Amino acid sequence: MLPYWRLSAYYFFYFAFVGAFSPYFTLYLQAIHFTATDIAILMSLMQVMRVLAPNLWGWLAELLGVRLAIVRLSALASMLGFSVFFLTESFAGVFIGMALMSFFWSAALPLVESVTFVHLGAQGHRYGSIRVWGSVGFILAVLGLGHLLDHFEIGVVLWFTVLMLAGILGCAFVVPDAKPPASPRTAASLGETLRRPEVRALFGACFLMSAAHGAFYVFYSILLVDNGYDKSTVGLLWSLGVLAEIGVFLIMPQLMRRFSLRTILLVAFACAVIRFVTIGWGVGSLSLLVLTQLLHGATFGAYHAAAIAAVNSWFSGRLQARGQALYGSVSFGAGGMLGGLISGYTWDAIGSAWTFSLGSMFALAGLVWLVVGWKKEAPGTQVGAS
């Protein structure tokens, strides 16, 4: 039977950590007097490790035939790495803590994604109904911590976030393992799969989509606070985006039956082009910010669900963990690192509006790459009812 609630609980705490860390840790770094460049460098470590760690751990999981043991080890080690932040406020110390936490934290999700899809089997279209609990966790965390920050000192960010890491650790020990079905000997190799033009187009476009989000994930909260919004409003706007994401996840089975994955992705990239340029130039208008956050349902929710379904379809059997690791490394890792670092250098040099406009240009480049490189729906990537 599908361990629905145990898988959902893991996603809940995993993304509750993201909901506490991504919007508010940058405010903590700003409060302890780090510059925009310092903040970008520190936050980019998360993306650097998402390039290195998932592939290393994915290779190790494939070699040893274990996944959940690595997930459990990574949960414990990432919590220990995070504890460094309680001990120091120096750049070197925070850098070491961030590197340690990120290296182990980045190992887990691709392996859990592959375990989830093995449990789902032919019910891959139900992925969204499990992943949606991650969005619920994100919303509760971002709203709860935003409220706390209106009443307590910025240090509460550390205590709240470490509790989410403890939740991840607990859930890692209750998620049951699942072995992927044996692949036929004639199954495509990793190299053969990566040479397919639609695979290269998807990974290239995903790299650019994450680069487009770089300024958003590093500086969105800072942008809002600098423009006079209180921290509760910051939390509400982050939550609104994730509510839109939840709505999309809930209707993804219907969307995937009606539209090809390629079509869903093209619409998501077009929405990203509009979203980031509007954030950059429309930050003074709360109504425009609300509209851009609603677009998060497309630029992350529909985009991620369609991309991960394509990767799951193209990388079968024992290649599944490697495929998910590559997707995470190329997109959230390399792409996020590029976008975050560039935004750190452009934030003071050309201003917030042009920095977010640059993100819009990254999304446009990804849209063009998809159109040119993935000319038609590839076999095996139309997800339907089972």
Structure tokens of 152?
């307590």
DSSP string, 2-58: --HHHHHHHHHHHHHHHHHHHHHHHHHHHHTT--HHHHHHHHHHHHHHHHHHHHHHH
> Which residue from 300, 348, 272, 386 is spatially nearest to 39, judged by alpha carbons?
348
Q: How far apart are CA 161 and CA 23, in angstroms?
A: 11
DSSP string, 225-249: HHTT--HHHHHHHHHHHHHHHHHHH
* Residue type for position 260: S
> Which residue from 113, 118, 101, 115 is spatially nearest to 169, judged by alpha carbons?
101
| CA distance readout (Å), 379 to 74, 303, 312 | 35, 19, 13
- 165 Cβ neighbours under 8 A, 6+ residues apart: 17, 75, 78, 79, 82
DSSP string, 92-128: HHHHHHHHHHHHHHHHHHHHHHHHHHHHHGGGGGGHH
Residue with tokens 């033009």: 197
Report CA 214 to chain centroid distance, whole Å: 11
* Residue type for position 328: G
Q: Which homologous superfamily is 4-179+190-373 in?
A: MFS general substrate transporter like domains (1.20.1250.20)
Tens of each residue's pLDDT in the chain, 386 residues: 778 899 999 999 999 999 999 889 999 999 999 998 999 999 988 888 877 877 787 778 777 777 888 889 999 999 999 999 999 999 999 999 999 999 998 888 878 887 887 888 777 667 778 888 988 898 899 999 988 998 889 999 999 999 999 999 999 999 887 776 655 544 557 788 888 899 999 999 999 999 999 999 889 999 999 999 988 899 899 999 989 988 888 888 889 889 999 999 999 999 999 999 999 999 999 999 999 999 999 999 999 989 988 988 888 766 776 787 788 778 887 888 899 889 988 998 999 999 999 999 999 999 999 999 998 765 545 554 33
Report domain extents, the chain: 4-179+190-373
DSSP state of 187: S
